[in-house]
């Protein structure tokens, strides 16, 4: 008796969803939905994916994308899939993750307008750069992020302004403009 009731309600539920589901008109949605004939609203999933910070996979470090045996040894699948140092990934994405946490907290407290305005300012400040082969001071960006009043390891170690290698100017400009 109870089983019949449950199956009956499930059937109603399924038909309801079938009737009221909005037909997707974008190609991706059409791929994701319609597997069992049940349309699935994938908008929620999409925003979850967008929230996650991309972790770039490691590609072979060398010229032309080929493994540089002299500097990094023989290539192995393990080396390319996983970073050798426990801190490598977390350091690469540290600033991104910190910003993500701060912006989402700000959004929850003050509403959407707060992170929106801040991110607009960040985008504007990030565009103030010198030519691609020269090191920019990023003064406006530093002021916005508050890193002009703090000293960390990124100011002392491996300062890009004092790197020993410089890119070829014409190549760098063409690469930046997409002419290459």
Specify the residue, 13 or 94, whose C-beta has the smaller distance to other proteins.
Answer: 94
∠ at Cα 51 (48, 55), nearest 5°?
115
Contact 67, 60 (CB under 8 A): yes
Lookup: tokens for 89? 């990934």
Rank residues 44 and 152 by Cβ distance to other proteins and give the closer one: 152
Closer CB to other proteins, 20 or 84, in the complex? 84
Of residues 32, 114, 142, 175, which one binds other proteins by CB under 8 A?
175
Residues 53-92 that bind other proteins (CB under 8 A): 59, 61-65, 71-74, 79, 83-88, 90-92
Dist CA 68 CA 48 (whole Å): 37
The least CB distance from residue 11 to other proteins, in Å, is: 53
By CB under 8 A, the residues from 98 to 157 that bind other proteins are: 133, 135, 149-157
Of 2 and 156, the one with the shorter C-beta distance to other proteins is 156
**CB-based contact 61:76 (threshold 8 Å):** no
Residues 151, 179: Cα–Cα separation, whole Å:
38
């Amino acid at each position: 008796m109870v089983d019949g009731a449950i199956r009956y309600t499930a059937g109603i539920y399924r038909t309801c969803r079938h009737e009221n589901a909005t037909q997707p008109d974008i190609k991706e949605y059409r791929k994701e939905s319609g597997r069992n004939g049940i349309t699935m609203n994938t908008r929620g999933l999409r925003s979850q994916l967008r929230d996650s910070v991309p972790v770039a996979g490691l590609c072979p470090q060398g010229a032309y994308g080929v493994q540089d045996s002299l500097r990094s040894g023989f290539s192995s699948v393990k080396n390319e899939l996983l970073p050798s140092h426990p801190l490598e990934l977390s350091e690469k994405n540290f600033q991104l993750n910190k910003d993500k946490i701060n912006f989402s907290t700000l959004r929850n407290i003050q509403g959407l307008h707060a992170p929106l305005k801040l991110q607009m300012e960040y985008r504007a400040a990030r565009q103030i750069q010198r030519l691609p082969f020269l090191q920019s001071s990023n003064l406006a960006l530093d002021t916005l992020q508050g890193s002009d009043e703090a000293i960390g390891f990124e100011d002392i170690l491996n300062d890009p302004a004092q790197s020993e290698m410089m890119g070829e100017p014409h190549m760098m400009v063409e690469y930046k403009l997409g002419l290459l």
